[in-house]
Amino acid sequence: MIRVQKEDFDLGEELRALGAGNHNIGGITNFVGLVRDMAGDEHVGAMTLEHYPGMTEKMLEKIEAEANERWPLEASLIIHRYGRMEPGEQIVLVACASPHREAAFEACHFLIDWLKTKAPFWKLEEKDGGASWVNARASDDAAAAKWR
């Protein structure tokens, strides 16, 4: 399941709903990304995420489908927020449910690595010296490359 939304999400509720009634699930793994208050040595007061509606959901669906082809998942969930967020707020939730923990862990790791490099989101950080767009990082590309 994919959701791109402005509003926050309730982690506990989302995880309960993901596995509800499916007794073939042996484990659920998840990753929650949060807004940090630092970027390098600069203070970040807020971050704004922008995206292209329609295009973003299609790419997230493609990424999720790839995970479901690679691992035996019973369920998966990607919630990605957009809009202005302050430090400590949740940005993204990736959760994977599988009969076996290793598949759930690997699929979750894969999804977040590919989201960082393939999902069409743009981040604007508000820092003490002004706002600036966040550039792609080589470390994110390297993490995603191991899944090719």
Domain boundaries, the chain: 2-145
What's residue 73's pLDDT? 98
> How does residue 40 score in pLDDT terms, banded at 50, 70 and 90?
confident
Region 108-135 average pLDDT: 93
Percentage of residues in the chain having pLDDT higher than 70: 100
Residues 6+ apart with CB under 8 A from 87: 34, 35, 36, 37, 44, 45, 46
- pLDDT of the residue at 147: 87
Q: Can you tell me the distance from the alpha carbon of 148 to that of 140, in angstroms, rounded to the nearest whole number?
A: 14
Q: Is the pLDDT of residue 68 over 90?
A: yes
Phi, psi of 12 (to 5 degrees): -60, -45
Q: What is the pLDDT of residues 11-26, one digit of tens each?
A: 999 999 999 999 999 9
**Hey, what CATH topology would domain 2-145 get?**
Aldehyde Oxidoreductase; domain 3 (3.90.1170)
Q: Which two tokens stand for residue 51?
A: 């995206």
Confidence of residue 105 (pLDDT cuts 50, 70, 90): very high
